[in-house]
Homo-oligomer: A and B are copies of this chain.
């Protein structure tokens, strides 16, 4: 595999196939198959996220796939936003169902009527749950594996609170968890408050994590929504306060999809193939025996011993025993993005040493007795370098433009995030879209900078614009 990342779109598709991430040949559009290497990477991402949510008091649950049509259609904005994309189950066997069932495009309408049953008083609050599963959207746009599809693997968290203030604090907690998650993945992000017209259907406001992909386009990789009381009023999510008075609750929801893996692949990969941070890699370490001369058995045993030692300490490790030259093996595991390989030949065996080589070329000879500490240190250092490199690259791709023409030129030639002024009118946003071929992604959180609108010249605020997926 020699694949040049300079042509990102081609590189991306080739890596997904060659590294066994996804198979796009499944005969339903937008529903690819996750192959073993891909699914294990995805599983690692989501178990990491689930652990973070568990530890911050979110409890994992599982709600059904299907929603009765009347229950689905209750929240007006929500049905307007999702209705056109919903897949409908209409038949069971040969028989038409009495009531058609929506395949969840997201789970608000599935969950909130049940929240209404669960919550009686303020003592039942806050309620914080999350679930990992697939949602379905009959998207008519061109699909792109792990980025835009009709079957979306994700984790969605939903919370309920007694007051608007607590709800705001929960939004902040959601943001904090997602920041920590993407930091572990080494993926830089910009957290932006989406313009009103781009808010989640049914939410008061939406914050989004945008990551920059190598082709200069941005990818939304997570969202945190403050739902206010909008759904609570429709689905009767209410509680009795200390005095017994009924109040509608306040809600948030937030989600991260399989796009997190697309971002990892895009941000870190290189001309050799995948580069995976240790949190994501299905195998964090591969031990490659250098078999020649005598002592083959002893050498292999030592490799297995190293593996057992590392696994006992929680490192995901494999031994590559195949009948291939060591060089071929290094090449193979490098292309799959394995963070570290260990070379172990007769010389190392005799000296009780190991040669550790990181995916980005750092090499170190270490005492076998300190294998775990040395491996851990090298994995941590690699993760840090990946994050720093990605962060530096994102910083280099922040620009600004004072008019539509300049904006168009920047996003066309360089991509990245471009700061522009905007008066907050939808007409001007449309003008930016059609004339500059860029999308207004939103306001940087907790920053207020005055800047004249690039479209109409009137007073406005700084927002970030970009080409987007």
Contact = CB atoms under 8 A, between A and B. Distances in A.
Contact of A59 (B36, B94, B103, B113): B36
A8 B33 CA distance: 42
Contacts of A262: none
Contact of A39 (B61, B67, B117): B61
Interface stretch (A19-27, A269-277, A361-369, A428-436): A19-27
B89 A26 contact: no
Stoichiometry, as copies per complex, reads 2
A408 B59 CA distance: 46
Contacts of A100: 91
A334 interface: no
A125 interface: no
A43 to B, nearest CB: 6
A451 interface: no
A293 interface: no
Interface residues of A, number: 53
Interface in A79-100: 83-94, 100
Given A28-B64, A64-B26, A64-B151, A92 B138 contact: yes
Contacts of A164: none
A291 to B, nearest CB: 20
A101 interface: yes
Contacts of A85: 92-93
Contacts of A63: 26, 33-34
Contact of A101 (B28, B62, B66): B28
B65 A89 contact: no
A288 to B, nearest CB: 20
Contacts of A89: 87-90, 103
B61 A31 contact: no
Contacts of A86: 92-93
A406 interface: no
B84 A94 contact: yes
B136 A36 contact: no
A136 B93 contact: no
A347 to B, nearest CB: 32
A81 to B, nearest CB: 12
A59 B60 CA distance: 24
Contacts of A201: none
B71 A27 contact: yes
Interface string A112-137: 01100110000000000101011010
